[in-house]
Amino acid sequence: MPIIRSTAAGVTLAAALFLGPAQAGDPVAGQLKADTCMGCHGVVGQRNVYPSYHVPKLGGQHAEYLVDALMAFREGVRDHPTMNAQARSLSEEDIEDIAAYFAASEPSSRGR
């Protein structure tokens, strides 16, 4: 039996390596949850009034980066009053879903 178990483990490991990491979030659910984000991040050429800067593009961004950024806003590590308030209202699942949605979106279709 040990040979069968090690073969099964090897096949599972090979499949995991071939398929890559499992996607953490659900982009379909994320599209619904990202509706509020689109008020700023979905407007071409949108600028923050004060301090003045372009609102960053989110479409095509790496999901891991978006999760890290939203968690940092939620915990107050990154300081932006609007983003801090928005992120505090999100669960970890919400954050992962939103990140998956933007990661799967076209860069030119979101943001500035």
**Can you list the domains of the chain with their CATH numbers?**
25-109 (1.10.760.10)
pTM over 0.85: no
pLDDT at 100: 98
What is the band of 49 on the pLDDT scale with cuts at 50, 70, 90?
A: confident
Angle between helices 81-88 and 63-74 (to 10 degrees): 100
45 vs 101, higher pLDDT: 101
Coil/strand/helix, residue 62: coil
Average pLDDT over residues 41-69: 86
Residue 7 scores a pLDDT above 60: no
Cβ contacts of 95 within 8 Å, gap of 6 or more: 25, 66, 67, 70, 71, 74, 87
